[in-house]
Structure 1
Amino acid sequence: MKHPILALACLALPTLASAESYENVIRATLQPGWRMADGSHMAALHLELAPGWKTYWRAPGDAGIPPQFRWKRAKGTKSVRIHWPAPEVFHQSGMRSVGYSGSVTLPLRVQLNTTGDSRLKGVIDIGICKEVCLPHRVRVEAVLPAANTNPTPSIAAALADEPYAAEEAGVSNVSCSVSPASNGLTLTAQIAMPKGTGREETVIETANPEVWVGEPKTWWDGNRLMAEAQMAHMNGGAFALDRSRVRITVLGGSMPVDIRGCDS
């Protein structure tokens, strides 16, 4: 098992001073979007990357840097929820990462307690990678106009690119078993779903951010997609796993699938 802290430390070798020469690699904008019928507002963070560069998904893998979002909400803004379009899987130097290349639009559902205009500011720490990988900080700001109720096509397209829900993809059952491992636990998931391409890969997440999840092994056993991953607590201690809050994303098949919780 690769040690997660060591993997991230290796990726972040460039110093913050050296990162200054990479300012033109990425351009971030906050798209103002539109006011929805329920009173919330749909905006988006748009990231444009230079050719050959990529950034990372919410669960970036051992070879990625997890994004961190800090929203400075103005009066009238209660919360911000990020919608994640289906990412790509990258393999490089024997390690796997999950993210986006070229450009990506991340829709933001903003809950409001005002009927008028609001303002949203964000400080986002992300990883960007080509031959080198390094942390990078972007700042964005936009007014969220109450008068605009017409959907923005690019944001609507990004919402349509989210993984399918389990029931939409024909997942009929998800069974998860847990067994002890030398330094944590091993989770084995059996997913009953329509047979795919044979190129499926999975990402497994838990509800506890202090639990590290290794790269899963993924294979087909008849009509069941199997996914097995090692888990360890960051402090090396014992931990409990709530299987009802395990999240499994299936990528690389005929359709991306977002599975929330194990049935058993």
Structure 2
Amino acid sequence: MKATVVTLAGALCALLIAALTPAGPARAAGLPPGLVSASLLPAAPQPDGTVMTALALELAPGWKTYWRSPGETGIAPAFDWSGAPNVAAAAALWPSPQIIESEGAQTLGFRDRLVLPLRLTPADPSRPIEGMLAVELGLCLNICVPAHLRLAAPGAAAAALDPRIAAALDSAPRKGEGTAHCSLAPISDGMRVSVSVPAAGARAAAVEVDGPGMWVSEPDLTTAGGMVTAAADVVGPTGKPFALDGARVRLTLIGDAGAVEYQGCAPS
């Protein structure tokens, strides 16, 4: 059974640009089709010295955007903080995705809205996070189009964490219990990885491999004897079989009760 992110049709290769100003979230007149508003939420300082903000998107009815794993032909979201010089490092903390069924295909993403927490490490903690963030993402109705947004950085820190950010953090995938086991086998252009965990109720899965230039196929998801197995092909930059460390493999299972995540797998 195929069980994760795919596009509904070939992507329309057009770049759609929206410029967002510090005055607040832009509205539909200045945004790509399918996007009603977009902004970065006020940043709040954290005890570890980082600041927490979030990308907030409101989508038009029927439209969706991708989760962090875009599938074989999807559009992976990308963030460029070079226009905000006080950002030394940034990490996206993804909430659990929705399973979206459309025209016989299944995708992992978000309808209606997305609040994506972003943890920023300032180069100078005494200065605000100012400048611009460039975001590339896919927006989908019957076809998926790439969109490019420029968002004003949050500026001065807020006194407390926005409740929308707190809710998104609470909805992140739970850490899976037990150990994930994997088997690896070479294929002509990479490796076949099968990850098994004791679980039940999974309706979709995503297999991800840490590292630049890694392409992962839509996994096959099977359940037998109380074990769930997701099997996918992994192709690296060389297009040849390669040594794959199980610690680089991440499995996410999504069901009606939310998402469960396993980082790393031990040899079967």
Q: TM-score range by the shorter chain?
A: 0.7 to 0.9
For structure 2, list consecutive stretches of 5 or more residues without a partner in the other structure. Answer: 1-5, 19-28
Secondary structure (helix, strand or coil) at the match of 1:100 reads: strand
Taking the aligned partners of 2:251 and 2:265, their CA distance within structure 1 comes to 9
Q: Which of residues 208, 226, 231 is equivalent to 1:228? A: 231
Per the alignment, residue 34 of structure 1 pairs with 44
Query: Where is the helix percentage greater, Structure 1 or Structure 2?
Result: 1
Per the alignment, residue 25 of structure 1 pairs with 34
Taking the aligned partners of 2:87 and 2:59, their CA distance within structure 1 comes to 29
Is the 2:188–2:241 contact (alpha carbons within 8 Å) kept by the matching residues of 1? no
Is the 2:43–2:53 contact (alpha carbons within 8 Å) kept by the matching residues of 1? yes
Per the alignment, residue 23 of structure 2 pairs with none
1:206 aligns with 2:209: yes
1:216 aligns with 2:222: no
Taking the aligned partners of 1:253 and 1:80, their CA distance within structure 2 comes to 30
Deviation at 1:249, TM superposition (A): 0.7
Q: Mapping of 1:131-150 within 5 angstroms?
A: 131-146=142-157, 148-150=158-160
Secondary structure (helix, strand or coil) at the match of 1:143 reads: coil
User: What is the TM-score with the length of structure 1 in the denominator?
Assistant: 0.84
Is the 1:189–1:228 contact (alpha carbons within 8 Å) kept by the matching residues of 2? yes
Per the alignment, residue 189 of structure 1 pairs with 195
Secondary structure (helix, strand or coil) at the match of 2:81 reads: strand
Taking the aligned partners of 1:38 and 1:208, their CA distance within structure 2 comes to 27
Is the 2:187–2:241 contact (alpha carbons within 8 Å) kept by the matching residues of 1? no
Judging changes above 3 Å, is the alpha-carbon distance between structure 1 residues 21 and 11 closer, same or farther for their aligned structure 2 residues?
Answer: farther
Q: What is the identity, as a one-letter code, of the residue corresponding to 1:160? A: D
Judging changes above 3 Å, is the alpha-carbon distance between structure 1 residues 173 and 70 closer, same or farther for their aligned structure 2 residues?
Answer: same
Judging changes above 3 Å, is the alpha-carbon distance between structure 1 residues 158 and 21 closer, same or farther for their aligned structure 2 residues?
Answer: closer
User: What is the TM-score with the length of structure 2 in the denominator?
Assistant: 0.83
Is the 2:186–2:241 contact (alpha carbons within 8 Å) kept by the matching residues of 1? no
Is the 1:187–1:229 contact (alpha carbons within 8 Å) kept by the matching residues of 2? yes
Deviation at 1:207, TM superposition (A): 1.2
1:256 aligns with 2:259: yes
Taking the aligned partners of 1:76 and 1:252, their CA distance within structure 2 comes to 39
**Cα-to-partner distance string for 1:138-182 (whole Å, 9 max, x where unaligned):** 110133424x3312100100111110112xxxx212111111234
Per the alignment, residue 179 of structure 1 pairs with 185
Deviation at 1:105, TM superposition (A): 0.4
Taking the aligned partners of 1:120 and 1:98, their CA distance within structure 2 comes to 31
Is the 1:190–1:226 contact (alpha carbons within 8 Å) kept by the matching residues of 2? yes
**Cα-to-partner distance string for 1:121-141 (whole Å, 9 max, x where unaligned):** 211111111012111111101
Is the 2:15–2:148 contact (alpha carbons within 8 Å) kept by the matching residues of 1? no
Taking the aligned partners of 1:50 and 1:43, their CA distance within structure 2 comes to 23
Secondary structure (helix, strand or coil) at the match of 1:231 reads: strand
Q: What is the identity, as a one-letter code, of the residue corresponding to 1:208? A: G
The root-mean-square deviation of aligned C-alpha atoms, in Å, is 2.7
Q: Which of residues 228, 245, 249 is equivalent to 2:248? A: 245
Moved more, 32-41 or 12-21: 12-21
Q: What is the identity, as a one-letter code, of the residue corresponding to 2:197? A: I
Is the 1:62–1:97 contact (alpha carbons within 8 Å) kept by the matching residues of 2? no
Taking the aligned partners of 2:85 and 2:146, their CA distance within structure 1 comes to 30
Taking the aligned partners of 2:238 and 2:198, their CA distance within structure 1 comes to 34
1:129 aligns with 2:128: no
**Cα-to-partner distance string for 1:9-49 (whole Å, 9 max, x where unaligned):** x6333544799997352121011131112221111110111
Taking the aligned partners of 1:189 and 1:132, their CA distance within structure 2 comes to 31
Secondary structure (helix, strand or coil) at the match of 2:82 reads: strand
Q: Percent identity?
A: 33
